[in-house]
Structure formats: structure tokens, C-alpha cells
Amino acid sequence: MKVAVSDRPWSQLRCDVLAIPVKSSGVLDGLEALDQALDGWLREAVQLERFEGKRDAVLHLFTHGRLPASRVVLVGTGQPDDPTDAVRRAAAAAARHAQAVRATRLGLWPGSFPATPEVAAAMVEGALLGSYRYTRHKTEKKPAVEAVEVVGVRGAGAAVRRARVLAEATWFARDLVNGPPNEVNPPFLAEVARQIGRQAGLQVRVFGPPQLRRMGAGAILAVGAGSRQPPQMIVVDYRPPRPRNTYVLAGKGVTFDAGGLDIKTHEGMETMKADMAGAAAVLACLRALPALEVPHRVVGIVGAVENLLGEAAFKPGDVVRALDGQTIEITNTDAEGRVVLADCLAYGRRYRPDAVVDLATLTGAAIVALGHFAAAILGNHQELVRSLVDAGRRAGERLWELPLYEEFVEAMRGEVADWKNSGGRYGGAQKGAAFLKAFVGPHPWAHLDIAGVAFLDKQEGQAPHLPKGATGFGVRTLLRWLAEV
């Protein structure tokens, strides 16, 4: 997609749709010249349609040759507290509307919002996120937005380039998660990591079953034992010159989760290709780091497995030994993601990181608590948690902290082994995080449970930049955090 930003006036922009964010407190504020150019049609349309500028509401009218733009679209923002988030959301709604009317050239003008580089970047980011479609396996493809231009803004080149990197990284993660599970399996993710390494100049190491056995990574091996697809631990290492700090990102990469012998229902299994969304986010982040010139060493660790029901599948009652020597009693084979991450987190300790962040579609309990509108965050270091929450706010990705009391840790201690992988229904998100905490070591750590926000069965009620299907949640939060920490 072509992306441009310029300081030329809206009246000179030739496009299919010229979209403008407007506040509910003054829908036509700053649009007097535009209304005059349209012979008063804009004001008349606002009145006839009773358009009040409510968030995500769209007013569409043709210009009939009075402007170089074929259509003008007003997108409501309500009464926003954060102008950058408001215009990001409005631009995404504009992009979705442009695609619905088969427009290919989208123009964006801030209107009454500040014409700053930050606003221009947010509009580009929103337009790119809102125009995403997964069409790889479609034989007939609908027209898509091919060009986006923001007008009326100066000096936004660097900010817009950064926004494009963030959006394209999110697209990359979405494509991985939306991919069918007969294609996106553990060896496939390993090959994707190798391609990232070649393209971005990163060091990539892939450990298959023989290496995992020698390492003592019995947790990953146990979860993957029921599948013909060999489990993989994937390590991607970004090392800039003279790195300031070292950070580890760990991602759950269960490319399909049938639940193992504690098998899921049909409804519960239907979207389980998305159980590798944490891994997709980690790989997408590593891919984008060189373009953002992040000054820290970042090591991405992905545990990639399928959790199926083959004759060698692990069983309730089994005891497995993790990479760091701790033992785990398997009390539920459908609580497998934390078992995989135990080995990933233990492996990450060898880098002596300044902080560790893991992402996982870990628990249904996080969905019960927060619905599909926020991810849960828990950790052992309040400053780290706070910085990630702030980065999420700037990215428009909500993170809500849940408590990690010592009682949750005690609830995960095993009777037969050091730990058990399931501690009962209540407080499930906290208990899952408490289990992971045992394998982190002394390092600052935060856990993002993205189960409710990584994949959406329906788009209704969601922000326009979040499509049905994979959302790529966490990519932009992590990249903002790494670029600014």
C-alpha cells in the first residue's frame, strides 16, 4: 500500500474518499470552507441525517465534481480524551468504509484535530490496521485500499514511517494467526523465524526434539508428544551495537490446541488455530526491531507445538521435568500453554535479562474477567507492569492488571511434583500466571494473557482497527515499549 503525508490543502487532494474525524461537541467546527466548497451540502447532510459525531459513526456524501475528491466522509470520535487514539480509530473506520464502497484511494485530513506529526502517524496507523484483510486463500479478491495520504500536516515523515512499521508488524502477526493449522504448524513457524533472520539480519536458533531432549526441555516435549508435527523451541536474537539492556520476549506457540486427552468441545476447538497468537506477536516484534532501531538486545523465545490426542499424548497424572529441573504434575492436558512456556522462560534465564515479558492465549478465565475488550497483565515488578500498561494505552491496546497474591502461588504447588499445571476453576488467570512465575527466576517479569483479545469471532462492538479473526494484539504495545523504555 502506498502511504504519503503532505502539507498541501485538502482542496487539492484527488482521491476516492476524503475522510475527516469530527468531535461530537462540534461536528462542523473547522469545516466551514469545506461546506462552502460543497455549496452547503455538508451542513445540510449533517442536519438531515441527524449526524452527531458519535464514536465510529460515519456520514458519507458525494461531491459531484465540486472537489477533486469523489466523496467526503465524516467519522465521529465522540468526546475523546486522547486525540491520537481518536484519530487512529476514526481513520480505521474510514478505511473500512472505503473498502465497503470499493474505493482504492483514501485521503485523510485532521480537520479540527491538531495537525501534528503524532496525529498524522496515528491516522496512517489506523488506516492501515482498518484496511487489513486476510485473502491468501481467496480465489476472488475484492478491491482494497491501495493508497493512503494524509494532508495538511508538516514534518511527519519520520513519525509516519514508524507508524507504518508498527502496522505492518501487526499485519504480519495477523497473517500468521489467520493461517490454517494444516499450514501453520511448528516446523512452519521455525521456517518463518529463519526467514525473519535472513531478512532482518537476526540470529536464529531452532531446537527440535533431539536437541530438546539433550537440553532437558521435557515440558515442551510432553505437550507435543501427541502430534506427528515435531515440537520446536525457536530463539530469535536481535543484537544492536552496544545494547543498553537485554529483554526476553516469550510466546506461546500452540499452533493447534485440541485440548489433548482432556479434549475440548467442538465450539471450544473451532478457533484453536489462534492458540499461537503469543508466538506470532513475538516473531512480528523481532522482525520489526531493526527498522525501529531499538537500542536494546531483544531475545524472542517461542515454544511451538501441537496439542493433539495421538497414542503418545501426555496424560493427566503424568509428571514431566522442565528445562530448569523443576517437575510438573499434569492435572489437565488442556492447560498446556503454561507447560510449554515453563521451558521457554527457563531457557530465557541464561541471558540474564533486565526484564522478561511473555504473551499467551492462556486462560478462559481472563475472558470471563475482561471479555474481549482488554488483556490481563500480571507480574512480579510493578514498574515493568506500569510501563507496559502505559505503552498499551498509547497503542490503543488495553491491559488491565490482576493481582498475583502469594495464595495463587501456593494453589499451584503440587503434591506429587513441585508444581501442578492446573489449580481449579476460580482465579484461573492468576493461577496460570503464578505457575509461570515459578520458572522466571529473579528477573523482572510481566505476563500478558491475551486469550480474549487475540482472535475475535465477531467484529461488532469492537474498535474499527480490530478485524474479525486475528487482531495482532500486543505487537504495537511491545514495540512501543521497547522503543521507548
Active-site choice (338, 420, 431, 476)? 338
Question: Do 121 and 3 touch, CB atoms closer than 8 A?
Answer: no
Single-letter residue type at 240 = P
Closest C-alpha to 92, from 15, 14, 19: 19
* CB-CB contact of 430 with 362 (8 Å): no
CA–CA separation, 446 and 443 (whole Å): 10
Whole-angstrom Cα distance, residue 24 to residue 188? 48
Burial class (CB in 10 A: 0-12, 13-18, 19+), 316: middle
Decide: 483 and 292 in contact? Cβ < 8 Å.
Answer: yes
Phi, psi (rounded to 5 degrees) for 260 = 70, -150
Query: Is 252 in the active site?
Result: no
Tell me the C-alpha distance between 59 and 19, whole Å: 10
In which element (H, E) is residue 256 found? strand 246-257
Phi, psi of 454 (to 5 degrees): -80, -25
Per the structure block, which three cell numbers stand in for 305? 507445538
What are the phi and psi torsion angles at 191 (to 5°)?
-70, -35
Mark whether 458 is an active-site residue: no
Beta carbons within 8 Å of 44's beta carbon, 6+ residues apart:
none
* Grid cell for residue 287: 522482525
3-state SS assignment for residue 447 = strand
By CB atoms closer than 10 A (0-12, 13-18, 19+), residue 422 is: buried
Tell me which residues are annotated as active site.
264, 338
